[in-house]
Amino acid sequence: MGYVKTAILLAAMTALFMGFGLLLGGPEGAAIAFVVAAGMNVFAFWNSDKAVLRMHGAREVNEQTAPDLVRMVRDLATRADMPMPKIYIIETDQPNAFATGRNPENAAVAATTGLLRNLSAEEVAGVMAHELAHIQNRDTLLMTITATFAGALSMLANFALFFGGSRDRPGGMIGTIALMILAPMAAALVQMAISRSREYEADRVGAEISGQPRALASALRKIETMAQRIDNHVAERNPATAHMFIINPLHAHAHDKLFSTHPNTANRIAALEAMEVGRSAGPQVRAARSSVPSTGRGGRQSGPWQ
C-alpha cells in the first residue's frame, strides 16, 4: 500500500509540475516540465534521502563515535523487529529529529546535537522510537519524496519571478503571480495531507516500541518549547523539509505557517498520556521500563552521546 501511495504522490507532483510548466512556457514548457519531473521521480526514489541528509549537514555515526546512541537505536530496532537503520547527527542547537529512506532496509534516523544535549535518555529513546515507527510504517519514502518535490515546486515559483510576465505566455504577469503563490501552497497542501495523521500513528507505535508513552510526551513538550526560541537555520532555508521532523522546526519567518504540517503538540501529548494511563496497570509497562538505557544523575544517560 505504501508504494501505491507513493505512485499516486509522484503522479500528482508530476501533474503539478506540468501544469506550472504550461503556465510558464505554454506547451513547450509543459513538455520540458514533464522531462524534468520524470528525472526527478527517478532521483527522488533512489537518492532523495541522501540529498536531505546532505542538505542538513548530517554526519553518520557508529559505535566508536556515538556508542550510547547507536546501542539505544539498535535495542529499539530489535524490539521493533526491524533492520538497524543508519544513524546520523546534525549540528544544531535546536532539539529535533527525523527519519528518511525508501524502505526499512535502506533507512536512516537523524538526531540533532540539541536533542542529545537537552533530553534525558528515556526521552531520546522515545524520539528515536517515534522515528523508527515512521520507518516501520513506510512513511519515510513519502515524506522524503514530498520534500524533494515541494522544494522543486517552490524553486520553480521563484524562477517565475525572473522570467517575468511575457505576453506570449498564457496568463502573462497574472499567471506568474498565481504561480508564485500557488506552487508553494500546492506543495504545502500535499505535505499536510500526508503528515498529520501519520504523526499520531508514529507517536502510538513509537510509544509501544520504547514502552514509555510518558517519556515521548515529555520529549515532545521540551522539543516544541525549545524549537520556538532556537533557530534551525538550515530548515528555515529549506522549509519544504519541515514535515519530516518530529516537531515543526520553523518559526523565524512569515512563511512558516504555510509549512505547519504537524498536528497540535498538546493533542499529541494528551493522546500519549492517555496511553500511559491505559498501560500503567499492566505488567508489560514494568517490563518495558526495565529495557530503557540506564541513566546517570539528573536523568541523563551516563555515557557521552557523541
Supply the pLDDT for residue 220.
Answer: 98
Interval 240-270: pLDDT, tens: 788 889 999 987 554 445 455 688 899 999 9
Range of 11-25, 219-233, 247-261, 267-281 with top mean pLDDT: 219-233
- First-to-last alpha carbon distance for the chain, in angstroms, is 37
Residue 274: pLDDT above 70? yes
Average pLDDT over residues 165-176: 53
Choice between 278 and 212, residue whose per-residue pLDDT is larger: 212
Instruction: Please say if the pLDDT value at position 109 is more than 90.
Output: yes
| H or E stretch at 86 | strand 86-90
pLDDT (tens digit per residue) in 5-16: 666 666 777 777
Could you tell me what percent of the chain has a pLDDT over 70?
A: 63
Mind giving me the DSSP string for 89-146?
EE--SS--EEEEESSGGGEEEEEEHHHHHHS-HHHHHHHHHHHHHHHHTT-HHHHHHH
Question: pLDDT for 180-201, tens place per residue?
Answer: 666 666 656 555 555 567 899 9
Catalytic residue among 131, 199, 208, 224: 131
Domain boundaries, the chain: 2-299
Cβ(243)–Cβ(147) under 8 Å?
yes
Q: Which pLDDT belongs to residue 31?
A: 81
Q: Which amino acid is at 132?
A: L
> pTM for this structure?
0.73
Give Cα 138 distance to the centre of its chain.
12
pLDDT confidence of 19, banded at 50, 70, 90?
confident
Q: What is the pLDDT of residue 241?
A: 82
Percent of the chain with pLDDT over 90: 43
Q: What is the pLDDT of residue 171?
A: 52
**Predicted pLDDT of residue 277:** 84
Q: Are strands 86-90 and 107-112 parallel, antiparallel or unpaired?
A: parallel
131 is catalytic: yes
